[in-house]
């Protein structure tokens, strides 16, 4: 077993399952948005605004946002642990990426919730 100081007790099976659940959420969201777009006669600002004012759409959008961010984190984490062998450099890069992803999450929630 490999002892990686920056692994944070991670499990490959857990990561695989998280990625699959996130992919399902993303696919369902794409189907949800596409079905909305197909059902319209004419797309305009008012239809789009009404669609995103719906609480179901807001919750689904936030779930999708977090699915994309978690998917990105797991992918970047795997690349960094595979290719950056210097632990200090890897931890610095991981910290920067975590801060960027957290800022995306906060900004995305602000946009979606209309703050």
User: By C-alpha distance, which of 98, 101, 20 is closest to 109?
Assistant: 101
pTM greater than 0.75 = yes
- Specify the 3-state DSSP secondary structure of 42: coil
Total residue length of the chain: 115
Q: How far apart are CA 42 and CA 51, in angstroms?
A: 13
Report residue 31's pLDDT band, with 50, 70 and 90 as the boundaries. very high
Instruction: Tell me if 83 is assigned to a ligand binding site.
Output: yes
Q: How far apart are CA 85 and CA 87, in angstroms?
A: 6
User: By C-alpha distance, which of 100, 112, 13, 102 is closest to 63?
Assistant: 112
The H-or-E segment that residue 20 falls in is helix 12-39
Mean pLDDT of 22-28: 97
Between 3 and 56, residue with greater pLDDT = 56
According to CATH, the topology of domain 12-113 is: 3 helical TM bundles of succinate and fumarate reductases (1.20.1300)
What mean pLDDT, rounded, does the chain reach? 91
Instruction: Tell me if 49 is assigned to a ligand binding site.
Output: no
């Amino acid at each position: 077993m490999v002892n990686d100081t920056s692994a944070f007790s991670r499990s490959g099976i857990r990561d695989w399952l998280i990625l699959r659940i996130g992919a399902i959420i993303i696919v369902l969201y794409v189907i949800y948005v596409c079905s909305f777009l197909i059902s319209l006669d004419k797309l305009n600002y008012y239809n789009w605004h009404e669609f995103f004012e719906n609480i179901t759409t807001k919750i689904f959008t936030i779930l999708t946002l977090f699915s994309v961010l978690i998917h990105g984190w797991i992918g970047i984490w795997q690349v960094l642990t595979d290719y950056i062998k210097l632990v200090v450099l890897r931890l610095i890069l991981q910290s920067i990426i975590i801060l960027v992803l957290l800022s995306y999450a906060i900004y995305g929630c602000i946009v979606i919730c209309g703050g």
